[in-house]
Structure 1
């Protein structure tokens, strides 16, 4: 599998749509079958990188209609791959934590916040269960990565939460992630946030429900 992954990585620089779709399809199939080691991290990073690249191209407004459709479809495929990531599959915990944290802060990855938040929340839940059972905590695995500082995480998530209905409604997701990552931000905020964030989420959900009722 290591050699197969390396072979796929050789075409990362090929920007033809058919090649990108094929690579993303391979990544999806690989992750559905489980990953035994961290050699496949480059494949995860590829999904985020291609989503960011498609977003940048669409924002330029210089694409033909056909090109815009292709980039939008690529974005959708990237999100589908991230949606299907199963953090409980063999090797996934070791593969994804804490590396996924590096995609929370940069603005170009905002569109991936929903599947990214799901993965991170599930990973933290697995960590907490392992601690309760006094099992080996594989989530402590660290590898060189451009991880955000606690201050950067806090500021980014608060900014998203302060505009809760923008970007498809990322405010609630940001608050959920803020609650989940409280230990990565500061140990003193856990208890207050456990009480306050659910109330904020309930308020946002109530506003969304009220808005739907007016449609």
Structure 2
């Protein structure tokens, strides 16, 4: 198919045509709206999501800092591992914040450590245990993944909605063709019978 013919086929809903129905025009607008929402809306949502994620990770890096803690009890090699971190187990630690307050809590530590061993923990601005914030590279990758996921989610939702609307329009179009055929068919039968 040459380029001109291909463009005419794709844009058939927009051309004046005595066979064109209202549903055809609506479907053309629906297809245009779906594409615009997928491209523009997906891009905007992806960028906003990624920017917010980066800002959140920056705030975590500003709020959290490492602190020295002391292990309160032995963590034997045979201690039950936690999740995918097979070389880590829960251990009770105690640390002192910058304002002199002493805290005690449990966190993941290496198995096989003895009581009194110094370990590094991450604490937030209130002095509570927190996870280590991602570095800039990790944050950028995670933000890109989150932004892409948000854009794809929006694109999928918009595409699905457009598909449902187009199916509804197709059912209406077929029903109208059936109604019109009921009016025309007796005339054809008289002419051919």
For normalisation by structure 1, the TM-score amounts to 0.20
Q: Which has the higher helix share?
A: 1
Q: Which protein, 1 or 2, shows the higher relative CO under an 8 Å CA cutoff with sep ≥ 6?
A: 2
Q: What is the TM-score of this pair, normalised by structure 2?
A: 0.21
